[in-house]
Amino acid sequence: MKRPVGIILLIILFFLSVVSGLIKVLNPLSFRMSIALLGTWLGIANYLMDIFLLIFAALLAYGFLKAKRWAWGASFAYFALYYLGQIIGLVITLSNPQKHFRLAFELQGLATPPIDMNLVTTMMTVTLVASFVVKLVVGGVIIWYVHSRKEYFRE
């Protein structure tokens, strides 16, 4: 069976997820930010979840490339975990946007710019919520597409 264009795009998406995941987990600033924002244990758990999702995305890229039946079902678990993480991150960030803003500068050794923190809160809230909505819509389309292409996954 010829590989559908949508499947090729998903393989590329999973590959890009692996690359961005590697950049994130290999960046010490990302780990320090996680610890600073979430505390030691939750920060480590967040870091380990990032590694898990990176490995999961690599396996899905392989499974989609080889049309493995297990990849079809596993992709739904991947997206569920991904969106759960997105929801948790959104709630944590919006619970104290000023802290996140300050830490993003401080951990890089930069002075926090003199800016109205109410403006920061508004901008972060609007940006994060809009980004989340776009991710949900795109994710919904991807999930629908994968669900409708079950016949591609043969083994």
Q: Could you tell me the mean pLDDT of each successive run of 10 residues in the chain, 155 residues long?
A: 90 95 90 85 91 95 94 94 89 82 78 77 86 92 93 85
* Res 1: pLDDT: 67
Q: Largest Cα–Cα distance of the chain, in whole Å?
A: 59
Rounded CA separation 117/98 (Å): 6
Domain boundaries, the chain: 5-152
Contact 124, 97 (CB under 8 A): yes
24 closest CA partner among 49, 7, 5, 2? 49
Name residue 3's amino acid: R
* Res 146: pLDDT: 93
* Res 76: pLDDT: 94
CA dihedral 128, 129, 132, 133 (to 10 degrees): -150
Q: What is the rounded end-to-end Cα distance, in angstroms, of the chain?
A: 12
Among the residues of 2-116, which ranges form H helices? 5-26, 28-38, 40-65, 69-95, 97-106
pTM (predicted TM-score):
0.83
* Res 10: pLDDT: 95
How many angstroms from the chain centroid is the CA of residue 60? 15
